Structure 1
């Protein structure tokens, strides 16, 4: 089971779109995929027509005790989606209260990793949608994952958020036994604008080894897929955006072999 976290310390860079599109592509070729929504805003949860404000059970339940989680507890939280091979561990808005509790309870940074031990034989891939804030939820995502995917919007203000994320990775690597590898994905690219072109050039200069060769373009099909609650490849497999993510996915799988 491969675990990928999708994170950046800036919002609006395409994290949830990245999670949903990659999951759809993985499921199409037969992989079983689990999605975990760790963002209190619950965008990934809402994508699949669950309401974060109304759920009786969610990923929040994993944090009720700072210690081992049972297999039955984890199983009770899993939700189906409209894609046969994709399941969801949904978010609730109660996640926003965890930072306050994390100060009082040690060990909360490993709850997701503990839960996933019970699922290692059930899924081929786990994709974690992380909040854009460094705290106990992002720490859980980074502690649990084998590889980190960092979407970076191709505009200069987003570069500052990316710098913070790279510093966070360095901090996490000092605490991990094994260095966390990561891939930066340029998103919202519009080759018609000088801002996008210049920003992509800067990304190549600053992060030549970590930058993905696939560039995710601005594509209204992503928005249309979100409105319909379907993975983008199910709406239009031939769209520019889906092709870009398919190229990205091929490179990610090759890297992990």
Structure 2
């Protein structure tokens, strides 16, 4: 089972779109996928028509009892409208976790512990994390083998990326195995100088980490979210889906290279 987390310390960069689109594309090549929503806003949960304000069981339950069991973890998983995509939903109660976590040890590994019970059930796990460095993002970083960092191609988003890069460096000082990451340019509009210059700066500053797949502005993403569908099932030929398909091919090639190395 491969775990990818999607994170950035700035909101509105396309994290949930990245999670949902990659999940849909992974299922098209036969993989079983679990999505984990660690964002108290619950955008990923809402995408699949579950209400974070009313949901009874969610990832919040993972932090209530330090000693997890397989039945407890499995009870949190919901079926989505997509046959091969399951969801471990968020609830708004996650917003209280930072305050409750004060003085408690070991909470940074709860998601990683939970996923160990699911090794044989899924091929990929994609984690959507909040745009705040705290116990939830720490869980997302600790649980994954590879980190995806969507970055909107505009000036302020690039400044926010600097904070995320520093966080990755901090995490790598504490990990036995280095956390690799891919920076994904999003909301690219080649008609605007701001987008073009921001993309150029990304490649100049992070030449080894920035994906060659650039995600364009595409209204088909919004249309898919309105219908609660993965974008590739709504319009497999859209520019945005093609860009994510290219990204996925690159990520899978890196995965194969790592397995053979």
Cα distance in 2 between the residues matched to 1:157 and 1:29 = 36
TM, length-normalised to structure 1: 0.99
1:122 is displaced (CA, Å) by 0.7
Residue 104 of structure 1: how far off its partner (Å): 2.2
Tell me the secondary structure at the aligned position of residue 256 of structure 1. Answer: helix
Match of 2:28 in 1: 28
Match of 1:168 in 2: 167
Cα shift readout 1:99-137 (whole Å, capped 9, x = no counterpart)? 011112110000000000000111000000000000000
TM-score, reference length from structure 2: 0.97
| Long gaps (5+) in structure 2 | 257-261
Which residue does 1:152 correspond to in 2?
A: 151
Which segments of structure 1 move beyond 6 Å, counting only runs of 4 or more? none
Residue by residue, what CA displacement relative to the aligned partner does 1:230-250 show, whole Å, maximum 9, x if unpaired?
A: 000000000000000000000
Answering whether residue 110 of structure 2 is matched by residue 111 of structure 1, we say yes
Pairing 1:240-255 to 2, within 5 Å after superposition: 240-255=239-254
Number of equivalences: 256
CA contact 1:109–1:136 (8 Å) conserved in 2: yes
Unpaired runs of at least 5, structure 1: none
Q: 1:14: which partner in 2?
A: 14
- SS at structure 2 position matched to 1:185: strand
**Whole-angstrom CA distance in 2 between matches of 1:165 and 1:232:** 27
SS in 2 for 1:237: coil
Q: Please give the secondary structure, in 1, of the residue aligned with 2:110.
A: helix
**Residue matched to 1:78:** 77
Contact 1:68 1:114 (8 Å CA) reproduced = no
Counterpart in 1 of 2:3? 3
